[in-house]
Chain A
Amino acid sequence: MRPGRLVLGLAGLAGFVLLLEVIPRAGLVPSRYLPPAADIAVALAGELADAGFWAALRDTLSGWVIGLLIAAGAGVVLGLLIGAVPVLRALTASTVEFLRPIPSVALIPLVVVLYGASLQSKLVLVVYAAFWQMLVQVLHGVRDVDPVADETARAYGLGRAARITHVLWPTALPYVMTGLRLAAAVALILCVTGELVIGAPGLGARIAVAQTSGAVPDLYALIVVTGLLGVAINVGARAIERYALRWHQSVRGETVG
């Protein structure tokens, strides 16, 4: 099953690269604005040989990691707290629903005034976007606790801490992992967007420089890098998810009890 999927995935990718090579060469799109895949590959090799590229990659990744950790930490703690206390849940529900759909990029003018073109600006955007992904998933997770299991735990005299560890957390964990996977992807997008629009150091800023310089193959090479980064992050997040939920039936693939 898995090797087959891998082959199909690679074939799909090869087809896409071929299309990217043929379309500009056939003149369907002027190659000045969409260079053929071979030119992009050459530009990519040039980027990989440039120290500035690696510094930009490091800036992007550090912004992503820090932002994601803050968002995930805050999302889990507040999600468990709000989810477990009905009053808090009722108190925040409308506010969460009000704030959640505000696109993070709408905050750009605000963060530019506050922090200029810095790591902080990027972090505000990343944390704002990723936090809601986490929070909402954790809230769903807490809501999913089986009342019978909870009552049983109470009947057996389990205290609050024990119930959180043995009932609440295992129920919420699959949701937390889903939230983390979604947040990881969103955080990367916002990280690069912030760099691109504000000019905070990173791959996005490098894309912007390539764009203003009219270096189109470099532009696409860097976009390819961000795409690959997205794939890598998703694969990594899925691996973590599988490991953290190795006991869970969705991963074990068998029904328990």
Chain B
Amino acid sequence: MRRYLAVALSATVLTAVTACGGSPSEEPDTGTSGPRPVTVGVIPIVDVAPIYLGKEQGFFSSRGIDLELVTAQGGAAIVPGVLSGDFQFGFSNITSLMIAQTKNVPVRIVANGAASTGVPGKDFGGVAVAEGSPITGAAGLAGRKVAVNTLKNIGDTTVRESVRKAGGDPSTIEFVEIGFPDMPAALESGQVDAAWVVEPQLSAVKAAGGTVIASNFTDTAPDLTIAAYFAGTKLIAEDPELVKSFTEAINESLAYADAHPDEVRAVLSSYTKISEEVRAALILPKWPTDVNRTSLETLATLGTTDGIFGGTAPDLGKLLP
């Protein structure tokens, strides 16, 4: 009894304490007059440059959307943000969305996000080794320690496929979880034998004498879709007009970004701290307006084989627009 009371008391205290700080999250304005505030959760990386550019170009305001971009540190904070209504839309990598779908999280893709360039050796992400490494190709990764930013996600799935295609045994790779920003140092100090890096760290690794030995995205599928914008199914059902406007605005932004790489490099300075030299030199992703369904089927099959979906295969019909 005493224990119950004590727990109840502490719980009350904590609730009271935490409730004080919270202002109610803003309800989306359903009125038709004036621009509609829309918050999108993004990650401060190169992939989301089109939405920043599209905002600058007025592609959202012309559709009555007053766009606010909130940077979250990684996709893990974005899906909950979309579900709780803090964000109307979010940006996430495809594998994370598939994992969410297999867990019956009610989200659905509303627009394409970013795609591989499809050019081996010239993609915005790849598997790199440090200067002087004896590993010269994907097959050499078998039995080695390879860094990925998140275990059981798009990184290890696609790296395994690179090794498989090169005739190596992917089951012997030891994957280590290291954040992208720490990968150049981890490679240089020999903590790992290879690392799956994306821009701008890919440029940093190359500048330090490293070499790209495999293009895991292009090895997995031609023009692999890497990431997408998504919304909660509740919003999609309740406000199809808003979703439609947002999708149109994003598509216009993606097309514009693809056609104006110099403006993309310039807009990066507005939300990242990537240096001017790196901005000028880094490899940009592709921004097609269509999600490459075939590539996602490949990704889903590979992920299922790797067991990252917990025994069930993702239902792409429920995830794709």
Contacts and interface: CB of A to CB of B under 8 A. Distances in A.
A and B bind: yes
Interface residues of B, number: 49
Interface stretch (A90-98, A152-160, A163-171, A235-243): A90-98
B272 A127 contact: no
A91 B77 contact: no
Interface of B: 2-3, 5-7, 9-10, 13-14, 16-18, 20-23, 25, 41, 44-45, 70-74, 76-78, 80-81, 84, 86-87, 180-181, 184-185, 188, 200-201, 203-204, 208, 271-275, 278
B264 to A, nearest CB: 15
A115 B87 CA distance: 11
Contacts of B22: 115, 120, 123
B73 A205 contact: yes
Residue among A70, A117, A197 with most chain B CB within 10 A: A117
Contacts of B73: 117, 196-199, 205, 208
Given A66-B21, A127-B17, A209-B44, A113 B80 contact: yes
Interface string A24-46: 00000010110000000000000
Contact of B188 (A30, A117, A118, A209): A30
B6 A91 contact: yes
In terms of DSSP, what is the predominant structure of the interface of chain A? Answer: helix
Contacts of B181: 211-212, 214
B71 A209 contact: yes
Interface of A: 30, 32-33, 66-67, 70-71, 74, 78, 90-92, 94-96, 99, 112-120, 123-124, 127-128, 131, 196-199, 201, 205, 208-215, 218
A216 to B, nearest CB: 9
Residue among A66, A95, A120, A205 with most chain B CB within 10 A: A95
A90 B22 CA distance: 31
Contacts, number: 126
Contacts of A118: 25, 86
Given A92-B9, A112-B80, A124 B18 contact: yes
Given A92-B9, A213-B272, A214-B204, A116 B84 contact: yes
A218 B273 contact: yes
A115 B13 CA distance: 19
A256 B81 CA distance: 58
A99 B188 CA distance: 42
B17 A74 contact: yes
Closest 3 CB pairs of A and B: A116-B81, A199-B73, A123-B21
B77 A117 contact: yes
A54 to B, nearest CB: 16
Contacts of A212: 44-45, 180-181, 272
Contacts of B72: 116-117, 198-199
